[in-house]
Amino acid sequence: MLRVGLSGGIGSGKSTVSARLAELGAVVVDADKVAREVVEPGTPALAEIAERFGAGVLTAAGALDRPALGALVFEDTQARRDLEAITHPRIQARSAELFAAAPADAVVVHDIPLLVEAGRVADYALTVIVDVPEQERLRRLVQSRGMPSGQARARIAAQADDGQRRAAADVLLDNSGSVDSLHVRVDALWRERLVPFERNLRTGTPVRRPEELAVVDPDPDWPARAARLLARVRRALGARALRVDHIGSTSVPGLQAKDVIDLQVVVEDLEVLEDPATRAELAKVGFLVPDRVWHDHDHETRREGAPAVPLWPKKILATGDPACVVHCHVRPAASPAWRLALLYRDWWRAEPAERNVYADLKRTLTARGLTSSEYAEAKEPWFARAAGRAHAWARRTGWQPGSA
């Protein structure tokens, strides 16, 4: 099963995307529908709402008068919190039931308006945001829905802004044009990303870097992409993750790199990944735990010219996302390799000259036409020499890993 969070600002056309995904075969859990379901006449939630807010929030037929309730809670923070305390647990419980009822091979799309505002991005393996500029959404609310301009502006202002939603998006669906053009984008997303992502998770097929080497210019989206992935790992592992970090070349501003996001998780012991419940939580957010154990090379004590010695065991998680190659290095706390990975990152960030030396090495090796595996192995002698310089910098500056 693939869990997808779908959101967008009011007036963005999110429901159009949701409907199209349902037509293509997705199981859609509509948060608005669930929210209406839990407050239908005769439900405990509606009785609690009437008790808290008075009979004035009910219609003559005994149903919830949404405009009347909205007028009470929109600008009253405590009233809104009271309402959420009544409805949110029930909405979450019912949504969980619908997720659990979906087939094992389903792409489950959670259509949730306030996904970003509620801090729910890390709950899904992929977040899709329907993107429409604020002024266009305002125009649609006024012209298409007949909403007064002041009310439309207030509704927009009460939600996350465009920048916050874009930072949360693994997929940004432009809906500033026609419905037909939107359908083309949604169909491509379904065919090229969602369906293969679900299949990879179900079959345990990790997406790894291609052997055809490609070192690219820095992508300004790398840090945000890493932040979303790290949040998912934290959500899945909880306190079992002693720290999580973005490492490797994509974590160093200005440095060319393979388009592979390297993450690092420090755990007490690699055995935590053998727990089926832990693996299930990781799968919910798109990560797979391979059976293979890798080993880090000993850069700490290796002499120049000596062969690389694999000493320190680790696991490398991957995602099933065909559009994003991720290598998540899980290292035990007793291994010195996790500190060294952070040391290299911080050293290159702080010392442009050393970063440039490493960049020159990348360019030289790339020009040799190596495969990705050959490229990784060819860098090992350089790392053996660089480790001493990095440690000297750490001693000189008093470097410590710092907080994750």
The ranges assigned to domains in the chain are: 2-203, 215-397
16 annotated ligand binder: yes
Residue 282, pLDDT score:
97
11 annotated ligand binder: yes
Q: Which two tokens stand for residue 193?
A: 């990303």
**Angle, CA 185 vertex, CA 318 and CA 191 arms, to 5°:** 50
**Angle, CA 165 vertex, CA 14 and CA 27 arms, to 5°:** 40
Q: What's the CATH number of domain 215-397, 3.30.460.10, 3.40.50.2300, 3.40.1190.20, 1.10.510.10? A: 3.30.460.10
Residues 6+ apart with CB under 8 A from 52: 82, 83, 86
Residue written as tokens 């065919």?
Answer: 191
Residue 370, pLDDT score:
93
Q: Is 324 helix (H, G, I), strand (E, B) or coil?
A: coil
pTM value? 0.89
144 annotated ligand binder: no
Produce one character per residue of 84-99: b if its CB has 16 or more CB atoms within 10 Å, e if not.
eebbeebbeebbeebb
Confirm if 258 and 374 have CB atoms less than 8 A apart. no
pLDDT along the chain (404 residues), means of 10: 93 91 97 94 94 92 91 86 93 93 96 90 96 82 81 80 90 92 96 98 93 92 96 97 97 94 97 95 96 82 55 94 96 95 97 95 93 91 90 96 82
Residue 118, pLDDT score:
87
Give which of 367, 365, 346 is closest to 355, Cα–Cα. Answer: 346
Residue 130, pLDDT score:
93
* DSSP letter assigned to residue 307: P
Residue 136, pLDDT score:
80
* CATH tag, 2-203: 3.40.50.300
258 annotated ligand binder: no
Residue 81's identity, in one-letter code, is R
Strands (E), 112-233: 126-131, 171-174, 215-216
